């Protein structure tokens, strides 16, 4: 059974790599005569079978992980609710008295505890996304997806990715030369896109991102030059 499972995983990996290869070839103008939508649907159903199989094999491990997470979350919410109840009662002793007050303070405490837990989750997620390496990777993947995958032109998306690019540059402290190099790499790709009869929208998006990279990189190099000039001027004065 294990050999069959491993063979099935290899089959899925081969099919997925083949689908990516055919998709990439069609993006560059090569028509291999394969219905990619049907290919993807068949691959998706094979993947669902694998997913069901894997869940069935590891159901005890998955159940223990979910149970542990649920128990920890419930314990945290209960302890936070008790603390919130005490704070509400101490702050408004007249309002939260009697049976009605006890019910009201319990409902408010649960709501506030859940909001606090959700706020911590959002903070953790934002801290993870705003890590220098993570944000840079997300931005690069977003730009490549906008160029080679999306079939529509969105000014809002381009503006959002440009802002993310600037933030990623600041967080990673990238030099202007590196950003200009990114634009030059896209410039080198352009002739290949033209030779492979790529769609005009893809070429237009590539040209747009070349412009964005060159503008941001050149502006950053100019700022770096001014900073160096100030430092050199301060040294000469001393």
Structure tokens at 49: 């079978």
At 96-125, the pLDDT tens digits run 666 666 777 778 888 888 888 788 877 777
Report residue 104 as tokens: 């009201």
Provide the pLDDT confidence category of residue 198 given band limits of 50, 70 and 90. Answer: low
Say how many CA atoms lie within 13 Å of 19 toward its Cβ.
16
> Mean pLDDT in the chain?
79
- What is the C-alpha end-to-end distance of the chain, expressed in Å? 78
Q: Per-residue pLDDT tens for 17-47?
A: 777 777 777 666 666 676 766 776 777 788 7
Q: How many Cα neighbours within 13 Å face the side chain of 129?
A: 10
Q: Which residue has the tokens 């944000």?
A: 135
Binning the chain into helix, strand and coil, the percentages to the nearest 5 are: 85, 0, 15
Q: What is the pTM of this model?
A: 0.55
Going from N- to C-terminal start, the domains of the chain cover 2-57, 60-129, 132-237
């Amino acid at each position: 059974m294990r050999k069959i499972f491993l063979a099935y995983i290899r089959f899925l990996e081969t099919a997925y790599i083949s689908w990516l290869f055919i998709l990439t070839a069609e993006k560059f103008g090569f028509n291999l005569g394969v219905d990619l939508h049907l290919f993807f649907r068949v691959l998706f159903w094979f993947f669902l079978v694998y997913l069901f199989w894997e869940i069935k094999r590891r159901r005890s491990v998955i159940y223990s992980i979910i149970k542990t997470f649920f128990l920890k979350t419930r314990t945290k919410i209960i302890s936070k609710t008790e603390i919130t109840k005490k704070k509400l009662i101490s702050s408004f002793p007249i309002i939260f008295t009697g049976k009605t007050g006890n019910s009201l303070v319990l409902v408010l405490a649960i709501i506030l505890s859940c909001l606090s837990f959700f706020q911590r989750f959002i903070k953790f997620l934002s801290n993870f996304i705003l890590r220098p390496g993570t944000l840079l990777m997300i931005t690069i993947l977003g730009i490549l997806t906008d160029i080679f995958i999306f079939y529509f032109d969105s000014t809002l998306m381009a503006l959002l990715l440009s802002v993310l690019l600037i933030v990623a540059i600041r967080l990673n402290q990238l030099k202007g030369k590196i950003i200009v190099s990114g634009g030059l790499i896209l410039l080198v790709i352009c002739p290949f896109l033209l030779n492979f009869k790529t769609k005009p929208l893809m070429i237009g998006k590539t040209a747009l991102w070349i412009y964005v990279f060159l503008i941001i990189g050149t502006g950053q190099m100019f700022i770096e030059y001014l900073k160096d000039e100030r430092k050199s001027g301060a040294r000469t004065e001393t």
